[in-house]
Amino acid sequence: VKLTFTTIYSKGKGSAGTIAVLQDVTDQEKLEESRREFVANVSHELRTPLTTIKSYLEALEDGALEDPQLSAKFVSVTRNETERMIRLVTDLLQLSRLDSRQAVISRELTDVAEMLDEVADRFSFQLEQRSIDIAIQVAPEVGEITLDRDRIDQVLDNLVSNAIKYTADSGLISIGAHRPEPQLLEISVQDNGMGIPKKDLSRIFERFYRVDKARSRSMGGTGLGLSIAREIVRAHGGTIMLESELGQGTRVTFTLPYTLNEEAAV
Ligand code: ADP
C-alpha cells in the first residue's frame, strides 16, 4: 500500500490543504519492475552480439582481412551473431503482438499425425547429424483439430529444437499425442537429455530465463522460445507445462481444446 500526500494550492492564498491518498500499488509496482527487467534484458541481449560483431570487425580491419582462413572464420562468427539478433528481434515482435492481443488466431482443420510427421521432417538433418532418434506416437482417436497451423508449428519447432539442443548425441526424443478427454488434445515432447534443476523449474517460462545463459547462447537460443510457446498455447485456450529431472530428461506437455464440431465427430 502506498500513501501519497499532495498539497493543494489555491490561487493567491498559498496552501489550501493536503490530500492523502492510500493506494494498493503492489501489483502495479510488480508490473513496473518486470517491465524494467524486460527492457534491461532486451538491451543486454542485443548488446552482447553487437559487441562481439564490433570486435570481430575491428580485428578484420586491423589485419585479419589479409589472412584468408582467419577472415573467413571472423566473417562467419559475425554472420551467426547477426542471425541470432534477427531471431531475437523476430521473437520479440511476435511476443509483443501476442501480448497486445493483436495476433489473430486463424484456425484451420489439421490432421495431427501429419503435422507431427512434418515437424520431425523439418529437423531430420539435425537429428541425423547428432544421431538422435525421434519416435512419434499418435493415438487413433486424435484425428483432426482446428488450430493456427503456423503458430502451433512454431510451438512444436521450439519444443523439438530445445529437445535437440539439450540432449546429448545418440539421445531419444518422443512426441506423443492423445485425447485424454473428448474435447482435449494433449501433445507432449519428451527427451532423455540433461534435464533442468528443480530450483529453475518455476521460472522456466519467463522471458529470457535460462538455466545456462552461455550454453543457450552458444546454441543460438534467445531465451524466448518457451515464453512464446506458452503465449501461443494460451491464445488457443490451452495450457502448457514442463516436467524435468536433472540428468534424466525433460517433458513439455500442452493441451488444445477441440471445438464443438470436432467433439461431435468423436
Ligand atoms: P532458449 O532459447 O535458451 O532455448 P527457451 O525459452 O526455449 O530458451 O528455454 C529456456 C531455458 O529452458 C533454456 O535456456 C534451457 O535452460 C531450458 N530448457 C528448455 N527446454 C529444455 C530441455 N528440453 N532440456 C533441458 N533444458 C531445457
For 69-108, the pLDDT digits (tens) are 999 999 999 999 999 999 999 999 999 988 887 778 899 9
Q: How confident is the model at residue 207 (pLDDT cuts 50, 70, 90)?
A: very high
Give the residue, out of 226, 245, 248, 253, with the most ligand 1 atoms within 8 A of its beta carbon, to mutate for a pocket test: 226
Q: Determine whether the shortest distance from the Cβ of 249 to ligand 1 is under 6 A.
A: no
CA of 90 from ligand 1 middle (Å) equals: 18
Q: Determine whether the shortest distance from the Cβ of 158 to ligand 1 is under 6 A.
A: yes
33 CB-side CA count, 13 A: 6
Q: Are 134 and 121 in contact (CB under 8 A)?
A: no
Residue 5 reports pLDDT greater than 90 = no
CA of 115 from ligand 1 middle (Å) equals: 23
Q: How confident is the model at residue 266 (pLDDT cuts 50, 70, 90)?
A: very low
The DSSP letter of residue 258 is P
Q: How confident is the model at residue 6 (pLDDT cuts 50, 70, 90)?
A: confident
Residue 21 reports pLDDT greater than 90 = no
Q: What are the residues whose beta carbons fall under 8 Å from the beta carbon of 23, sequence distance 6 or more?
A: 1, 2, 3, 4
pLDDT at 260: 63
pLDDT at 17: 81
Give the C-alpha separation, 82 to 206, whole Å.
Answer: 24
Q: Determine whether the shortest distance from the Cβ of 240 to ligand 1 is under 6 A.
A: no
Give the residue, out of 210, 215, 230, 231, with the most ligand 1 atoms within 8 A of its beta carbon, to mutate for a pocket test: 210
Closest by CA position to 148, among listed 115, 187, 183? 115
pLDDT tens per residue, range 157-203: 999 999 999 999 999 999 999 999 999 999 999 999 999 999 999 99
pLDDT tens per residue, range 27-47: 888 888 888 999 999 999 999
Residue of the CA atom closest to atom 23 of ligand 1: 163
Q: Determine whether the shortest distance from the Cβ of 192 to ligand 1 is under 6 A.
A: no
Which amino acid is residue 63, in one-letter code?
G
pLDDT at 20: 80
Q: Determine whether the shortest distance from the Cβ of 225 to ligand 1 is under 6 A.
A: yes
Atom of ligand 1 nearest to the CA of 163: 23
Give the C-alpha separation, 165 to 223, whole Å.
Answer: 13
CA of 134 from ligand 1 middle (Å) equals: 19
* Grid cell locating 243: 516436467
Q: Does the complex come out with an ipTM higher than 0.95?
A: yes
pLDDT at 108: 95
Residue 262 reports pLDDT greater than 60 = no
pLDDT at 229: 97
